[in-house]
Amino acid sequence: MATLKDIVKDRRSVRTFDGNQISPEDRAKLEEYINAGISNPFGIPVEFVLLDAEAHGLSSQVIVGEKLYVAGKVAKVPYADVAFGYSFERLVLRAWTMGIGTTWIGGTMKREHFEKEAGLKDGEMMPCVSPLGYPAKKKSIREAMMRKGVGADNRMPAEKLFFDGSFDTPLSGKMQQEIADLIEVVRWAPSAVNKQPWRIVRATDSLYHFYEKKDRGYVSEATGDLQKIDVGIALCHFVMYLEEQGKKAEVLVSDPGIHIPDGVEYIASVQVV
Ligand SMILES: Cc1cc2nc3c(=O)[nH]c(=O)nc-3n(C[C@H](O)[C@H](O)[C@H](O)COP(=O)(O)O)c2cc1C
């Protein structure tokens, strides 16, 4: 069976689909997964709505051949964006294991139209949607260009993302080797414009602190903070990896108060118990 590392490294955003509907069996499996409730460590419910593209007149300028979308909705509460990232990514990974491709879409869509069709209510936000379908054999030219534009086949090196005790000390080569698979599983997470805004400080071998390194232009009323969604995605990969190893990971919000660089914000910690 494929490990989480295999799945994460194999997954990519899919923007060119084969034009077929998802089979009734696969759709039933997805619906079952969604209806069971896709939880996150923040206890904030994320609601998923499947929307037939044709019936609802939905499309995205970067997606070709899709027949189905999923929209995610969440109440506008503190940590909604982080929780959204965590739950939506669980669906993304689940879909990939079934041979179903996705692309996180927070920008390249007619947002008002999607929000209306998803039945968005006051007090809620719909930060992202995704197409769901079987990948086409060949990527569209636009898809290939988009991937090149954001360097989608690359990620930053571990020493830019992982730190030892404080932001002054990148994780040593020896330490990187000790947790090499955990690092890979986090490094290959998807993020808006492939910015990889997560930063992780290892306090001890059982306590890790997650931070957001902010860039300009990722926050709006409609989406919340897209880079907090990215941190939620990284957190999801991190916790899923530990669980796969038979460990229990508790996510807590308890700022250790260590010195942080400008533009960096504490998000959450993971305690391995
Ligand atoms: C929160 C979020 C929002 C995104 N919004 C868009 C989008 O609006 N349009 C798009 O084509 N891709 C979008 N992406 C996909 C990223 O560009 C993609 O994940 C990244 O380039 C890495 O490529 P990969 O997913 O193939 O590994 C988004 C990703 C995330 C996590």
Q: Is residue 134 located within the same domain as residue 163?
A: no
* Beta-strand relationship, 68-75 and 129-132: antiparallel
Q: 21 in a domain, yes or no? A: yes
In this prediction, residue 244 carries a pLDDT of: 97
Q: 97 in a domain, yes or no? A: yes
Ligand 1 site-directed mutation target among 7, 8, 13, 139, most atoms within 8 Å of CB: 13
In this prediction, residue 119 carries a pLDDT of: 98
Q: Is residue 132 located within the same domain as residue 10?
A: yes
Could you give the CA distance from residue 228 to residue 233 in angstroms, rounded to a whole number? 9
Q: What is the mean pLDDT of the chain?
A: 97
128 close to ligand 1 (CB < 6 Angstrom): yes
103 close to ligand 1 (CB < 6 Angstrom): yes
In this prediction, residue 1 carries a pLDDT of: 85
In this prediction, residue 6 carries a pLDDT of: 98
Q: Is residue 127 located within the same domain as residue 229?
A: no
For residue 252, which of 212, 213, 210 has the smallest C-alpha distance? 210
Q: What is the DSSP string of 129-177?
A: EEEEBPBPSS--HHHHHHHHHHTTT----HHHHEEESSTTSBPPHHHHH
In this prediction, residue 114 carries a pLDDT of: 98
Residue pair 130/69 in contact by the 8 Å Cβ criterion: yes
In this prediction, residue 26 carries a pLDDT of: 98
Convert the pLDDT of each residue in 169-198 to its tens digit: 999 999 999 999 999 999 999 999 999 999
Could you give the CA distance from residue 209 to residue 165 in angstroms, rounded to a whole number? 9
Structure pTM? 0.98
Chunked mean pLDDT (size 10), the chain, 273 residues: 96 98 98 98 98 98 98 98 98 98 98 98 98 97 96 97 98 96 98 98 97 97 97 98 97 98 98 95
Domain's final residue, options 142, 169, 189: 142
In this prediction, residue 5 carries a pLDDT of: 98
Q: Is residue 51 located within the same domain as residue 133?
A: yes
Q: Is residue 115 located within the same domain as residue 181?
A: no
Domain's final residue, options 92, 115, 142: 142
In this prediction, residue 199 carries a pLDDT of: 98
Domain's final residue, options 89, 118, 142: 142
Residue 158, both tokens: 């571990």
Domain boundaries, position 232:
158-272
CB atoms within 10 A of CB 193: 18
Determine the distance separating the centroid of ligand 1 and the alpha carbon of 84, expressed in angstroms: 15
Tell me the CATH number at 100: 3.40.109.10
